[in-house]
Amino acid sequence: MLPFHVHTGVAAPLDHPNVDTDQIIPKQFLKRVERTGFGQFLFYDWRFAADGSPDPAFVLNEPRYAGASVLLAGRNFGCGSSREHAPWALLDYGFRAIVAPSFADIFQNNCTKNGVLPVTLKDEEVAELVRRAREVVGYKLTVDLERREVRDGQGFTAAFEIDEFRRQCLLEGLDDVGLTLRHESLIGQFEGRRPGWMGVAAPAV
């Protein structure tokens, strides 16, 4: 997965509480077998009208938020089903970080395993960022995992906490597969010593 160190990007405000994973990526788009290509369906029921045309009232369809890569969200973001397609869709659309007062646990864990950084800040801090994103065209935020802080170029700075194991995995770009492969030589040694089925030695690969 992509490592995360320091990211600066346009911030888009979507401060609705309890946005669930079926709104992030509706169930009818879960048939793909690969992890890519879900970005076009992100927030589909909100982004598009019934005739398939973009809804100009939805925040991500506003020209000022084109190319946004930092999402400002409301409380309990990512609740609902545990589908990993939600962070896949966010990442594929272009989001590298999500800032919110709180996240659903499984969604938060899925994000860190896919290179998306979920940042938890205080309610008043998120509210201030939302206000600035709405008032300043092209408002950008820097999300700094190395220093554990969020800042802009206008005097805002806020520290955030993150589990150190998750932090190191993001910094090094290690998902579960990557973590396992760090022990590839030991796995190979174990497999080489393991007896085959019914006592027959396993064939060499």
Would 16 be classed as within a structural domain?
yes
Picking from 73, 95, 78, the residue whose alpha carbon sits closest to that of residue 16 is 73
The CA distance from 138 to 132, in Å, is: 10
* Whole-number Cα distances in Å, 137 to 22, 46, 128: 29, 22, 15
The pLDDT tens digits for 22-38 are: 999 999 999 888 889 99
Range of the domain at 13: 6-193
Long-range contacts, 191-200 (Cβ 8 Å, 24+): none
Task: Provide the pLDDT for residue 150.
Answer: 98
82 or 158: which leads in pLDDT: 158
Our count of domains for the chain comes to: 1
Q: 39-97: per-residue pLDDT in tens?
A: 999 999 999 999 999 999 999 999 999 999 999 999 999 999 989 999 999 999 999 99
Write out 13-30 in H/E/C secondary structure.
Answer: EECCCCCEHHHHCCHHHC
| 3-state SS class at 74 | coil
CATH number assigned to the domain comprising residue 165: 3.20.19.10
Alpha-carbon distance of 138 to 14, in angstroms, equals: 15
For the record, the structure tokens of 98 come out as 């999500």
Question: Strand runs (DSSP E) across 50-202, as ranges?
Answer: 70-73, 97-100, 117-120, 140-144, 149-151, 157-159
Residue 54 domain-assigned (yes or no): yes
Whether the CB-CB separation of 43 and 50 falls below 8 Å is answered with no
Q: Is the pLDDT of residue 200 over 60?
A: no
Q: What percent of the chain shows pLDDT beyond 90? A: 80
pLDDT of the residue at 86: 97
* Rounded average pLDDT over 133-141: 97
Kindly report the backbone phi and psi dihedral angles of residue 13, in degrees, each rounded to the nearest multiple of 5, phi listed first. Answer: -90, 120
